[in-house]
């Protein structure tokens, strides 16, 4: 029996962190012609917490690219709800959604998508130019982003003068220069040799260690093994969701 006035016993309670990405029974259908409906996603529910590192795998037609497009606010569900950092994207005006996407999400693609005959520095500055930042601020932030991916000594090189791995690291620098909390990478190592793949995955690991959420589509098992969590899709459904 406790004495009068003694402090109450403290009980630890586990509270699940709020997800930065949450899909609730999301379905995405596409109409082909007048009579055919293709269901790319089928009532998918998924939570990704802030700071997670997730690899999404699946064969062609499994729904992984559709899932990535919805998570990146590049497409909308036919039914179900998608919440980005707690906000239901269905309720956000298109202009505001574009602003939200640009602030919170950095995209990395298999084909690099760098502007040819333009320096690495200018490529990384590009999103900041669209955002209206002054030249001095653009340069400072672009240099910091290039340093973060180990490309500080290649700032004046054009893409044609860089290896595939170096081009992809410039693309990653461009993705993080706006300081997004989420990195979405679609087959980021698909065009790289094994050495360049290792270098790019090291960059993703450092970004994740710094607190960024990384979601990566890949068909390569050794690449997926670098993630903390592997989700496998098939026929528009989640087949497995495993912590590595």
Residue with tokens 């962190």: 17
Phi-psi region of 36 (alpha: psi -120 to 50; beta: other; left: phi over 0): beta
**Distance of alpha carbon 186 from alpha carbon 192, whole angstroms:** 13
If you ran DSSP here, which 8-state letter would residue 244 be given?
A: -
Backbone angles phi, psi at 230, to 5 degrees: -120, 125
pLDDT mean for each 10 residues of the chain (244 residues): 40 59 96 86 96 95 94 94 92 86 91 95 93 92 96 96 96 95 95 94 95 95 96 96 93
Q: pTM here? A: 0.88
pLDDT of 51 reads 96
pLDDT of residue 28: 97
In the numeric block, which tokens belong to residue 74? Answer: 């590049």
d(CA 158, CA 116): 7
C-alpha 156 chain-centroid distance: 27
pLDDT at 35: 81
Burial 17-50 (b: 16+ CB within 10 A, else e): eebbbbbeebebeeeeeeeeeebbbeebebbbee
DSSP string covering 85-103: TTEEGGGS-HHHHHHHHHH
Helical residues (DSSP H) of 149-191, grouped into ranges: 164-176
Tokens standing for 66?
């559709």
In this prediction, residue 17 carries a pLDDT of 64
| Strand residues in the chain grouped as ranges (E) | 19-32, 36-49, 53-57, 79-84, 87-88, 105-109, 182-186, 213-217, 229-234, 237-243
pLDDT score of 16: 53
């Amino acid at each position: 029996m406790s004495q009068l006035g003694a402090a109450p016993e403290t009980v630890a309670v586990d509270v699940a962190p709020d997800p930065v990405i949450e899909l609730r029974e999301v379905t995405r259908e596409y109409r082909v012609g007048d009579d055919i409906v293709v269901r790319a996603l089928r009532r998918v529910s998924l939570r990704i917490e802030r700071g997670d590192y997730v690899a999404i795998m699946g064969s062609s037609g499994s729904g992984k690219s559709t899932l990535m497009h919805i998570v990146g606010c590049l497409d909308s569900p036919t039914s179900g709800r998608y919440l980005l950092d707690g906000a239901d994207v269905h309720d956000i005006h298109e202009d505001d959604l574009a602003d939200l996407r640009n602030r919170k999400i950095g995209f990395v693609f298999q084909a690099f998508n760098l502007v040819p005959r333009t320096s690495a520095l200018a490529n990384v500055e590009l999103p900041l130019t669209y955002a209206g930042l002054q030249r001095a601020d653009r340069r400072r932030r672009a240099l910091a982003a290039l340093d973060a991916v180990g490309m500080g000594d290649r700032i004046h090189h054009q893409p044609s003068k860089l290896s595939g791995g170096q081009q992809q690291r410039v693309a990653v620098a461009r993705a993080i220069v706006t300081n997004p909390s989420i990195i979405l990478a679609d087959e980021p190592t698909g065009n790289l040799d094994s050495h360049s793949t290792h270098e790019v995955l090291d960059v993703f690991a450092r970004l994740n260690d710094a607190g960024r959420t990384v979601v990566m589509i890949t068909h390569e098992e050794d690449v997926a093994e670098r993630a903390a969590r592997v989700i496998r899709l098939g026929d528009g459904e989640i087949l497995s969701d495993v912590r590595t």
